[in-house]
Structure formats: C-alpha cells, structure tokens
Amino acid sequence: MHMGSQRQLQLLRMAVAFSFLLLLANHLLPPKAFAATQLLFDYSAGFIRRGLTGEAIMRLLGPTITGREIVMSCAVITFTGLVGFYLFLRRGVVESRATLLILILALNSFAMASFTGSTGYLDALLLLAAVMALSSDAGTGAGLAARILLVMVSVLIHENMLPYFALLVGFDLFLARQHQTMPLIPASLPLAGGAVMVVLVVLNGQFSADEAAAFAEYVQGKAMFGVDNTSLEVLNRTVSDNLALMSDLHSTRKYWAWIIYDGVPLAAMAGWLFWVGGRMLDQDDGALPRLLLGLAILAPLSLNLIAFDVVRFGAASVIVGFLALAVILRHVPGAEARLSDTLTWPHFIVVLVLNVNIFTSDINDVVSHETQFPWVLLSQLKWLSY
C-alpha cells in the first residue's frame, strides 16, 4: 500500500472517531420518562414482559430508584449498545477504504441519530446482545448455542428481539455454513428459540386488570421520580389491543404524516442497504442469500402492523442493514472488492449529505439547532439537574 493510501486510511480513521464522538454529543441526551419507567419493571409481581433489565437494576441499586440513578442507568444502557455496535463494525471486518466509509455512513445516519436519541430504550441492550451473538464463531457448535441463548435471553429484555435481530443472527449463520449440508436448519434455530420464548412471555406474562393496577401502584412507589403511566399501559396491552389501536390510527393525519416524513426516508435508507448488500453477495450463490438479507432488514418494519412507533422500527431496520453488510464482509469472499467498486467517492458523498440533512421527529426532546454541536452542549447540561 503506497503512502497516499496510508494517509487516506489515517484520515478516514479520524473521521470515524469524530463521527462516533459527535453521535454521542449530539444525541445521547437525558431520557424521556417513558424509557425510564420501563427500567422499573421487575419480577416482584411474577413473570412479566420486559422485566429482566429492571430485575437486574433492582438487585444492583435496591428496591427504590432515584432520578439520578435511573437516568444514569439509561445512559449506560444506550452507551454500551452504541459501543458494541461501533466495535463490531470497526474491528469485525478487515479495514479498508470501503469498510471505513460504511462505518462513517452508519455513524452519521439519521437512523442512528434517532436510535441514540431514544436514550434508555431497551433496544440498545438488544443491539448489544445481537453484536455479541454475531461476534461468536458461527461455524462451531458453541457459537450456534451462544446465538440461540442470547436471542432467547434477549426476549426477556424485550420481545422486539425476535423481529429486530433474530433473522440477522440466522442470516449470519447461513452465510457461515451455506456450503455445508442443509445450512437453513442451524440458521433457523435462533429464530425458533426466540419465537418459543416470545410465546411463553406473552402467555405467562399478562396481567388481569386488578393485577395491572397493583403493579402500576408498585412501580410508582418504587420510583423516587415521576413515572410515565403510558409505559405501564403498554405493558398490559395485548396483541389484539394493538391491532385495534392501529386500526383506529390508520385514518388519522398524524399516522400518515409519521409514515411519510419518517417512515419513507428510513425505508429508503434500508432499501439502499439491501441494494448494497445484494451487490456484495456472490452472484453464483443464487437468490436465497438475497432473500434472507431482505427478510432480516424487513423484519423490524413488520412491527408497524401492530404498534405505532415508525421511527424506532425504521431505525432498527437500518441498523440491521449496516450489521448485515459487516456479516457479508466477514463470510463472503470478494465482498470487500465488490463494496469498493459500488461505494465510489461520489456515491458516498451523496448518501452522506442526504443522511446529515434528514431528521426524524423522535430525537429526544429538543429541536432545531439544539440537536447539533456545539449548541447541543447546552442541552447536555440537563444531566446535571438530576
């Protein structure tokens, strides 16, 4: 590699580091009450959905939680998820111009800004579990067992693990074993394990009306800060309740505004990642790898059928797309060369400019220039108020 290429890589490494730091500075802001309240769910009233994290926090911090403790818990949850994502993309593939450009695009994606801005959401722990699963050796029995276990345990953190990342973990297994006999069987096991766990959680973790009221009172007494009752209502909502809610929302202007202004750009970004991933795959391997890639990226968007959270699900789809590119780079010979041919400098610049100029409606509680450096530092001072 000549001196000019070395210098280019050095500058790109600096751009990656600055992109990560700015992502944290601009968007890792004090959490909303909704996210903080979900961290209070535990197993004191029996087996419930999304209770594992709160159980761990209770055992670590005690039966009552202060405002400072809960916001710091939120910060740690999101920060560890982001660090896991960064390290996986940074160290999980061979460094080159193309792989560093992909990492820069990931860190500057408006989807990643939205994901980071949802400080304290359990999605960050699901992301951390996903990159831990993808980091194990996909070609060994131990790696397969680790993937199955991590997916199943993550469902106890939040049932969204199944559509968010289970198919991605299976896609990774398929690529690692696609030239072996019946690679779809091991690839399907994390998804199957997660599905079983979701069924158990849904069937055994539902409260009656009286039990829900008692648990809400317990959570309010546990928190030494104001809780968000909407979060408690979501915990007790069934799938049929969600379908009825979505049916009512379909005729509202708010729903379609969210779909058009948030959902369409996020879906377009996910579509671009699918296109790039398809070009990186070996043409001789047929259509099945592309089908699995598409299913992995589409899976988080399927949640829009039963829940009104366009930004979260769209951001998860984009994050899956970036992780899928890293998975392809690890397992498919010649993928890096095909990525380099696809991601030319003009191509990169156009995608980067579009990403830094598109914003979603759900980046924490601040607006306009306050979400960008250096003015965002004024918003960061809110951390000191707890």
Contact (CB, 8 A) for 156 and 111: no
Q: What is the pLDDT of residue 312?
A: 95
Contact (CB, 8 A) for 224 and 248: no
Query: Which residue type, as a one-letter code, is found at position 93?
Result: V
d(CA 197, CA 199): 5
Q: What is the pLDDT of residue 234?
A: 78
Q: What is the pLDDT of residue 366?
A: 47
Q: What is the pLDDT of residue 371?
A: 63
Q: What is the pLDDT of residue 226?
A: 85
Q: What is the pLDDT along the chain (386 residues), one digit of tens a residue?
A: 555 788 999 999 999 999 999 999 999 999 988 999 999 999 988 888 899 999 999 999 999 999 999 999 999 999 999 999 999 999 989 899 999 999 999 999 999 999 999 999 999 999 999 999 999 999 899 999 999 999 999 999 999 999 999 999 999 999 999 989 999 999 999 999 999 999 998 888 777 778 888 888 999 999 888 888 888 777 777 778 888 888 888 888 888 888 999 999 999 999 999 999 999 999 888 899 999 999 999 999 999 988 888 999 999 999 999 999 999 999 999 999 999 999 999 999 999 999 999 988 765 544 444 567 888 888 888 888 88
Report yes or no on whether pTM surpasses 0.85.
yes
